[in-house]
Structure 1
Amino acid sequence: MILYPAIDLKDGKAVRLLRGDMEKATVFSDDPAAQALDFVAAGCEWLHLVDLNGAFAGEPVNGAAVEAILNQTRTPAQLGGGIRDMATIEMWLSKGLARVILGTVAVENPALVREAARAFPGQVAVGIDARGGRVATKGWAEVTDVDATDLARSYEDAGVCAIIYTDIDRDGAMQGPNVAATAALARAVTIPVIASGGVSSLADLRALRNCGAPLNGVISGRALYDGAIDLKKAIEVLA
């Protein structure tokens, strides 16, 4: 399993939200690129980036911070938030991003996801953010009637390279991941699944590693910033 350190971007800074609430943001770094370099120095294989403002705006907002990270590191990075048309997808991939994450459009415009996955094989992932098993969109501000597992299954034949599954109620709360729901989703599809939300200890990482489902990796944010998880040890646990 791969550990994806998270850098969530709000107003040009690296922050963590509590359960997706933009009003409950803790700033951890005024220099996201420096934070990225710290994660790379600790040995991470990937970086997970989120443009939080962009998720609400529907277009890139923290582009300068993302570009600074891409320019200063050679580590592959995936980005979600505000990517809702082919031009934005093409723009980010041309700037050196390894993978785009499509969330809101995965619900609202599945044809775009399929078109992008065909155009950029191995570089298009789907982000499924759920509350109580139902998919949330537009920066988690709107909860739909779409079932998370049904949405994941609908992309089985689309050629997407991964699904990032986030349990919103666990995200940033340091209360542990929803292992059962994540494992169930991973068993329901053949697409590689990356777990996100609530990881707060090495024990949580072991629980995901040993859940019996073929998880590709896990995203961790607040626990790395707070020091609850040592990145080097976490990579060893998942190796």
Structure 2
Amino acid sequence: MSFELYPAIDLKDGQCVRLLRGEMDKATQYNPDPADQARQFAEMGFTNLHVVDLNGAFAGESANTDAVKAILSATNAPVQLGGGIRTRAQIDAWLEAGVSRVILGTAALRDPELVKDAARALPGQVVVGIDAKDGMVAVEGWAETSDMKAVDLAKAFEGCGVAALIVTDIARDGMKTGVNVTFTGELADAVSIPVIASGGVASAQDIRALRAHQGQRAISGSILGRALYDGDLDPAEAIKLAR
């Protein structure tokens, strides 16, 4: 099974930043020009991009539209976009704008039928983001923890055409403390939908660990964030390990 890498461009106020554990007031700015960052990732050899509209995730509607469109213009790489996408109209608008896949997080918990209907109508273009605190789903830009277990939410989308699940352990996000292979692997084993790991990748060892997961199903990929920006993860080595 192929293992895909997704360098992350997180957008706050039009700039490329990284947060610690999803806290907006703990943002580190890495590049004021997100389109330039997209070009840099392409030059490194990455063939996918993971873009999150952080302001949108809190506002419940797209807030960094110009920055996203600039990224789409700057690269031919498939872009998956999340953050504030809560309606079918928003899903359709972003796919028409050139996004390859939309990521639905809060909507997956609040309006699962919307997600299922969209996934059936748009095969391969709808991804569910499952963000978890201590195994429980968090929503609204991670500001709120629900009483739904992450694994139960994952199982709810079996068989409707969801392209992938992006599973984030919030406690590790942006911390470079190592990815939670156990938690990610449990979700990968629980569903037939491809599972992408997110949160905490610190070095090439995390990619090795994700690839080495011995369960019923392989983990299908990983989001790369702060470790890539800080230089702790060598792009060429990461790409080689993924292949």
Indicate whether the TM-score tops 0.5.
yes
- The corresponding residue for 1:139 is 141
Aligned partner of 1:61 in structure 2 is 63
TM-score, length-normalised on structure 2? 0.97
CA RMSD of aligned residues (A): 0.6
- How many angstroms does 1:121 deviate by? 0.9
AA at the equivalent of 2:69: E
Cα distance in 2 for residues equivalent to 1:35 and 1:132: 32
**1:98 positional shift:** 0.3
Shift of 1:72: 1.3
CA distance in 2 between counterparts of 1:129 and 1:45 reads: 24
The residue aligned with 2:176 is 174
The corresponding residue for 1:224 is 228
> How far apart are residue 233 of structure 1 and its match?
1.2
1:204, distance to aligned residue in structure 2 (A): 1.0
Aligned length: 239
Q: Match for 2:165: what amino acid?
A: I
Classify the secondary structure of the residue corresponding to 1:172: coil
Is it true that 1:25 corresponds to 2:27 in the alignment?
A: yes
Q: Distance in 2 between matches of 1:122 and 1:200?
A: 29
Q: Distance in 2 between matches of 1:119 and 1:96?
A: 17
Per-residue CA deviations over 1:136-161 (Å, capped at 9, x if unaligned) read 00000000000000000010022100
Q: In the alignment, what sits opposite 2:105?
A: 103
- C-alpha separation between the residues in 2 aligned to 1:45 and 1:209? 18
CA distance in 1, matches of 2:153, 2:160: 12
C-alpha distance in structure 2 between counterparts of 1:26 and 1:191, whole Å: 33
Structure 1 stretches of 4+ moved >6 Å: none
| Distance in structure 2 (CA, Å) of the matches to 1:166 and 1:63 | 24
Gaps of 5+ in 2: none
User: Normalization by structure 1: what TM-score?
Assistant: 0.99
In the aligned structure 2, how far is the partner of 1:216 from the partner of 1:183? Answer: 10
Long gaps (5+) in structure 1:
none
Aligned to 2:242: 238
Identity of aligned residues (%): 59
Q: 1:10 matched to which residue of 2?
A: 12
User: Does structure 1 residue 119 correspond to structure 2 residue 121?
Assistant: yes
